[in-house]
Structure 1
Amino acid sequence: MMKKKKFSIKDIPGWAVMLGIFGILYLTGLHTEAIGQVQRILLATGIKNADVPETLQHPDATAVVDAAAVATTEMAGAGFKMVDLQGKQVAFESLKGKVVFLNIWATWCPPCIAEMPNIQKLYEKVGSDNIAFVMLSVDEGGMEKVKKYIDKKGYTFPVYLPASQLPQEFQSNAIPTTFIISPEGKIVAKQEGMADYNTPEVVAFLQGMVKK
């Protein structure tokens, strides 16, 4: 008579174990963070560095922005309203005359979570009165959810939520999506999907556009 084989955890297929782990992470709400951590490792390899236009990677440091041209050119996103985490409404066009780093993200988006630490580092390097960061959350869970996440992570870059319909020029097929807008109000770079923005090329690109 054949002996009945005792069950062992080793008999569980690897795919079943992974499915179980993911199921637990999903039920506990930790799956976004876990996937984000994996994607953060991918960013660390350098293969997902942000692209910046070749013609603007090394702008002429002596160039002077025509103040009159800035005043008369309509800014991308004109008419768009945002609200910060303190509940203050801000007109997007109030940032005209500055270089704007606009990142559209959500707390449920793993690639958004993955790229944020490097965006924070970039902000610490170049954030100023001349370079404005707009971390625009499209979460539907309300301001408190976003504020709780930002506070938990200790991020200090400015975070906003839409207070009006997102302008057509900021529409994208993916998040995160990042736009860089010149002081004249023109979109000069757009990146769909996650990327590492904390690079010498991006730092030089942003600082090179600041009005002299």
Structure 2
Amino acid sequence: MTSIVLACVAIVLALPSVGSAPQTATADGRPRSTHHAVPWRATDIDGHAWSSDTLHGRVVLVDFWATWCAPCLEDLPRLKRLHARQGPRGLTIIGVSLDRATTRDFRSWLQRQAITWPQVREAGQYESPLARTFGVEAIPASYLFDRDGRLHATSLRGDALETRVSALVEAR
């Protein structure tokens, strides 16, 4: 019986945690994602083009959300803190809104909430080109990329998001 329990524990410990990417080590022993780069392009509501290529060298968090999504709204204070603390150190957050409101109403909402990172809105919500590129089926959905453009983790929230972003930013 004890050997069965130990075998089960070993299997569970070997499984990757939710929201993590498979890891290998770099020459200096630091963990490195084994995921490949995910090429993507988008234009924010101010007309600025963003892509995986133009953001190379920065840690990037692509955050799919909407103003009607309660869990998304719960994440906003943490995202504001991350943007303020880690933005100057190499983090770029790209919000991808699945809202149906007019651009004018959406801009007004962003201004009232003091959300200053770029926001993308594409027609089609879950069927939009960007949502389809990332395979978004529900929100909130986040995709964290390292400085080389490799997908490092998905669906991170709360403390796990903050910890992973900070580790990637500091990993220069």
- The TM-score, its normalising length taken from structure 2, stands at 0.67
Tell me the amino acid that sits aligned with residue 105 of structure 1: W
Which amino acid in 1 is paired with 2:146? Answer: S
For 1:147, the equivalent position in structure 2 comes to 107
Over 3 Å counting, the alpha-carbon distance change for 1:171 and 1:209 in structure 2 is farther
The amino acid across from 2:167 in the alignment is: F
Equivalents in 2 of 1:174, 1:106: separation in Å?
11
Residue pair 2:64, 2:98 contacting (<8 A) in 1 also: yes
Following superposition, the deviation at residue 184 of structure 1 comes to 2.0
Change (3 A) 1:169 1:199: closer
User: What residue is the counterpart of 1:208 in the other structure?
Assistant: 170
Question: Residue 177 in 1 paired to residue 141 in 2?
Answer: yes
Displacement of 1:61: 8.1
> Shift of residue 199 of structure 1?
6.7
- Alignment partner of 1:136 is 2:99: no
Change (3 A) 1:53 1:171: closer
Choose 1 or 2 for highest CA Rg.
1
Instruction: Give deviations 1:182-212, integer Å, cap 9, x for gaps.
Output: 22221110017xx2158762343232343xx
Whichever residue aligns with residue 124 of structure 1, its letter is A
Structure 1: segments with no counterpart, 5+ residues: 1-49, 66-73
Write out aligned runs for 1:36-115 (5 A): 75-76=37-38, 78=39, 80-115=40-75
Aligned to 1:196: 158
Measured on the aligned residues, the alpha-carbon RMSD in Å equals: 3.4
Q: Give the alignment of 1:108-123 within 5 angstroms.
A: 108-123=68-83
The aligned amino acid for 1:111 is P
Distance 1:146 1:206, change over 3 A: farther
TM-score (norm 1): 0.56
Equivalenced residues, count:
147
CA distance, structure 2, for counterparts of residue 202 and residue 131 of structure 1: 12
Q: Distance in 2 between matches of 1:61 and 1:207?
A: 17
Give me the whole-angstrom Cα distance separating, in 1, the residues matched to 2:160 and 2:85: 9
Identity across aligned pairs (percent)?
21
Deviates more, 1:105-114 or 1:81-90: 81-90
Distance in 1 of aligned mates of 2:95 and 2:20: 19
Distance (whole Å) between structure 1 residues aligned to residue 102 and residue 49 of structure 2: 15
Please state which structure has a larger fraction of its residues in strand.
2
Matched to 2:168, the amino acid is: L
In 2, the alpha carbon distance for the partners of 1:203 and 1:159 equals 19
Long gaps (5+) in structure 2: 1-17
User: Does the CA-based 8 Å contact 1:180-1:188 persist in structure 2?
Assistant: yes
Per-residue deviation, residues 159-184 of structure 1 (Å, max 9, x unmatched): 22248712645112210101101222
Amino acid at match of 1:204: S
Equivalent residues of 2:143, 2:155 under 8 A apart = yes
Cα deviation 1:69-128 (Å, max 9, x = unaligned): xxxxx741x2x4322232333334311232111110111211111111111011111013
SS state of the match for residue 115, structure 2? coil
- Cα distance 1:178–1:200, how it changes in 2: closer, same or farther (>3 A)? closer
